[in-house]
Amino acid sequence: MKLAVITDSSAYLKLEVLEKENLFILDIPVFIDGKTYVEGKNLTAEEFYQKMALSAELPKTSQPSIAELEDLLSTLSGNGYTHVLGLFLSSGISGFYQNIQFLKDEFPQLEIAFPDSKITSAPLGIMVQSALNWAEAGLDFNEILRRINVQIDGTSAFIMVDDLNHLVKGGRLSNGAAILGNLLSIKPILYFNHHGVIEVFEKIRTEKKATKRLIELVEERTSSGKYEIIVIHANAVDKAETLRQSLLESNISAEISLATFGSVIGTHLGEGSIALGYIPLFD
């Protein structure tokens, strides 16, 4: 088996993963003040938040290119790849997942799987890294898919944003209208539900109480089994580090790491947002 893993630029990936020769990343362009950017090519995460703060309107994003994916699959077939695993941002926040399913039948020489990750950012990056590591360890395609689906079923993220307008205007919050009237008096906790859609989970009165509740929720969901918890922030390093320290001082025994929301997700969550993602791990 020669496996190619394909993802998109919403995934947060570590440097050692980015260097894998069988990893391929589809660009998700970000449009700011009439200009097109792709993080990692002509934009850093830091530059993105600077530009977003100075922009008169919210940046916009589009889906990855289906044509680019189709060309890539043709190239992979010609380069001796036999299997392809595509892990992309949740179908609950992008139509890309639904739009690419037909491609599985267009390349009969490749065994292709496009499972719905139901997540994005750092948890998506960990799924990608896991698949690559399992392939290197000699696991077959069916076992890799089985494990990925276990991760998908056990993964979610709870999110605390400073300003819901980013999510509501971008159409990424399914029930945002129901709480807009209470923005001044609550700090809502959002989450990725079982369908990969961002919804309001609870309405908390203060940020301090909301932060405490974030830790409680993730502790409940990671108490049985081996997990990695990721503190993900949108240009809010101090807030993220404080939350990470609180996690380390809690009863949580999971691995805890830090990650950044890049331009694709930062566009929709807004600067200052913070999330706790969690994903099951295999020994």
pLDDT at 45: 85
pLDDT at 178: 47
pLDDT at 205: 80
The yes-or-no verdict on residue 187 having pLDDT over 50 is yes
CA distances from 2 to 8, 87, 270 (A): 20, 17, 39
The yes-or-no verdict on residue 179 having pLDDT over 70 is no
pLDDT at 156: 95
- In which order are the strands placed within the sheet that holds 156-160? 198-204, 187-192, 156-160, 274-280, 227-233, 255-260
Which of 131, 154, 177 is the endpoint of a domain?
A: 154
Residue range(s) defining the domain that contains residue 193:
156-280
Taking CA 135 as the corner, what is the angle to CA 41 and CA 17, rounded to the nearest 5 degrees? 25
For residues 172 and 137, membership in a common domain is answered with no
pTM: 0.91
User: Average pLDDT in the 115-133 region?
Assistant: 97
Domain count, the chain: 2
Which of 130, 154, 178 is the endpoint of a domain?
A: 154
Which of 154, 174, 200 is the endpoint of a domain?
A: 154
Confidence of residue 44 (pLDDT cuts 50, 70, 90): confident
Between CA 238 and CA 212 the distance in angstroms is 16
The yes-or-no verdict on residue 82 having pLDDT over 50 is yes
Give percent above pLDDT 90 in the chain.
Answer: 65
Q: What is the mean pLDDT of the chain?
A: 89
For residues 10 and 142, membership in a common domain is answered with yes
Strand 187-192 vs strand 227-233: parallel, antiparallel, or unpaired?
A: unpaired
pLDDT at 16: 94
For residues 140 and 204, membership in a common domain is answered with no
Q: Which tens digit of pLDDT belongs to each residue from 146-156?
A: 999 999 999 99
User: Average pLDDT in the 103-124 region?
Assistant: 96
Q: Cβ distance 182 to 204 under 8 Å?
A: no
In this structure, what CATH number is given to the domain that contains residue 9? Answer: 3.40.50.10170
Q: Cβ distance 238 to 205 under 8 Å?
A: no
